[in-house]
Structure 1
């Protein structure tokens, strides 16, 4: 089997640069690495977009990787575009069909599961969206204390400045059929994650039958401890016989 293409799907409040450390190492090992934009509009839009990207921009086997909400997207896109052979979840949602983000986080102890979301998020309208929808940005304090608390302060401020918002409707849209039911999966659990608590990540990963590893990091452990994510991706590559 030829070396698979590694496709890295970012999550909310991030962009492709969140994968820089992982992508650089994998490119150095001879892998083709692609990091498409995740539109952050809900799986009914984001899933087909990534499926279309896979179908048009890859050839041969693919290892599909998702961070945070990106895990929601790869769960919905993994069976519908390209030759996806394995899924890797990094501090990510691994939803079952019918679940949504807010449902998964409810009662989890997440820093985002609070009675008044405006204490942790800045919520603003956007043109062209459905009636009542809005975009959510992380407040600076949320980035510093709960999203990327293990990064240097200067890097945290860059996240505050460059974050891409996710719509509220994306967090209430139910997942479709789960690609992990037909594909082998791996999961990296950030043990200091305050957005998707470790126990919640582990429950979802175990339910999916994923091979689990741990990173002693925040919700962005692929930035603070990239080697754990790199190792999980390489394990997925080996696991599919590539």
Structure 2
């Protein structure tokens, strides 16, 4: 008898809202998954911003704890900045850690999708500095005086290549139109804890044509986790930073591959 499918806790990226992932969440639900995608308060048109990484971390941890208290086995999927949030928020909640305490449920797997998978006391900008790219930030991102930020060219830099045609262009316009101002201070907020160090499965989905979190950054984060002794399975998708929109079927296949591994 096949094992029941895990519950998915999806942690979204900067500028995005749950609605911008509707194409992927609908596909996952059609594949038989229950998907939870709580909004991160740092993504908001409120000026000046009133939420940061710590706020987002608290929201996700509380949400995860509620799922686990109900006995859910959870696959955590993190996109972009969501990797910072999930890495920080999900420590001590793995299935192994909870089983050791005689508790049901747990985070069974961490799936990073072009996401920041960094060690403690580091932030997104540390990775940018590591590659000597800090001077390029103003070319990609428009920071206001209150540190709220938007992408200067979301179609090219954030979404990346899409299938040509009028219908695809209209869909792209709608997607980009759904993006929201984000608190750019989150790029500089350092994580305090590191969930991927724990006894939990880890998969990284590389987006090879990503211009927001470049492929080199992604590979270096996987190398860092492996150097720290973690086994990391990788999947490559030839697309930009938003495979949830541009390569939805491939992301669903990657999820199915993770779930098969979880069942072995």
Same topology, TM > 0.5: yes
Residue equivalent to 1:130: none
Deviations 1:166-222 (A, max 9, x none): 212211111122101112111111110011110110121233232111111001122
Residue equivalent to 1:53: 63
Question: CA contact under 8 A between 1:123 and 1:134: conserved in structure 2?
Answer: yes
Asked if 1:143 corresponds to 2:143, the answer is no
- Map 1:130-169 to 2 at 5 A: 133-139=146-152, 142-151=153-162, 152-169=168-185
CA distance in structure 2 between the aligned counterparts of 1:143 and 1:24, rounded to whole angstroms: 23
Question: CA contact under 8 A between 1:97 and 1:176: conserved in structure 2?
Answer: yes
Question: CA contact under 8 A between 1:9 and 1:74: conserved in structure 2?
Answer: yes
Asked if 1:74 corresponds to 2:94, the answer is no
Q: TM-score, normalised by structure 1?
A: 0.85
CA distance in structure 2 between the aligned counterparts of 1:229 and 1:75, rounded to whole angstroms: 20
Q: TM-score, normalised by structure 2?
A: 0.79
Asked if 1:44 corresponds to 2:44, the answer is no
Quote how far apart the aligned CAs of 1:92 are: 0.9
SS in 2 for 1:93: coil
RMSD: 2.2
CA distance in structure 2 between the aligned counterparts of 1:173 and 1:32, rounded to whole angstroms: 31
Instruction: Give structure 1 regions of 4+ aligned residues with deviation exceeding 4 angstroms.
Output: none
Asked if 1:207 corresponds to 2:204, the answer is no
CA distance in structure 2 between the aligned counterparts of 1:29 and 1:147, rounded to whole angstroms: 27
Deviations 1:153-178 (A, max 9, x none): 33443344322222122111111221
- Map 1:1-242 to 2 at 5 A: 2-40=4-42, 41-57=51-67, 59=70, 60-80=72-92, 83-106=106-129, 108=131, 113-115=134-136, 117=138, 119-124=139-144, 133-139=146-152, 142-151=153-162, 152-182=168-198, 183-208=200-225, 209-241=231-263
Quote how far apart the aligned CAs of 1:236 are: 2.3
SS in 2 for 1:106: helix
SS in 1 for 2:135: coil
CA distance in structure 2 between the aligned counterparts of 1:223 and 1:115, rounded to whole angstroms: 26
Question: CA contact under 8 A between 1:77 and 1:179: conserved in structure 2?
Answer: yes
Change (3 A) 1:106 1:159: farther
CA distance in structure 1 between the aligned counterparts of 2:253 and 2:37, rounded to whole angstroms: 18
Gaps of 5+ in 2: 43-50, 94-104, 163-167, 226-230
Question: CA contact under 8 A between 1:109 and 1:197: conserved in structure 2?
Answer: no
SS in 1 for 2:86: helix
Question: CA contact under 8 A between 1:64 and 1:87: conserved in structure 2?
Answer: yes
